[in-house]
Amino acid sequence: MVLRWIVGGLLAAAYLLIAAANWGILLLLRRTYADGHRPSLVPLVGGVIGAAAVVLLPPLGIPWWLPALLDPGCALYVALVAIAFLRERGSDTSNPPT
């Protein structure tokens, strides 16, 4: 039981650091692009680590999917990639499906 709390606490701390870094990247994105530097979100890692922390720390009463929803490198990133994929697929009229 103690090991579960230790591992869960470490995972929760890692999730908080990754999620904070992802939000920082989003907030500073305009300035960093102007400088020519292109930061990258850490996709999916924060949400997966956060979900694992919540599963290991069940007394918190937090749904396992909430960290993935709150981390922009997870839910927001997946949504933006899906939208970009659908737009690209819809704009490709040169090869209509057969």
Q: What is the pLDDT of residues 72-82, one digit of tens each?
A: 888 877 887 78
Kindly state whether residue 96 falls inside one of the protein's structural domains. no
Q: How many CA atoms lie within 13 A of 13 on its CB side?
A: 6
Give the confidence band of 52 by pLDDT, cuts at 50, 70, 90.
very high
Kindly state whether residue 97 falls inside one of the protein's structural domains. no
Cα 53 to Cα 59: distance, rounded to the nearest angstrom: 11
Query: What was the pLDDT predicted at 27?
Result: 75
Kindly state whether residue 63 falls inside one of the protein's structural domains. yes
Average pLDDT over residues 21-29: 77
Query: What was the pLDDT predicted at 7?
Result: 92
What percentage of the chain's residues is helix, strand, coil (to nearest 5)? Answer: 75, 0, 25
Number of domains in the chain: 1
Kindly state whether residue 34 falls inside one of the protein's structural domains. yes
Q: What is the DSSP string of 56-82?
A: H-GGG---TTHHHHH-IIIIIHHHHHH
Residue 82 burial by CB count (10 A; 0-12/13-18/19+): exposed, middle or buried?
A: exposed
Query: What was the pLDDT predicted at 14?
Result: 93
Residue 96 has pLDDT above 60, yes or no: no
Residue 71 burial by CB count (10 A; 0-12/13-18/19+): exposed, middle or buried?
A: buried
Average pLDDT over residues 21-36: 70
Q: Which of 32, 16, 11 is nearest to 70 (CA)?
A: 16
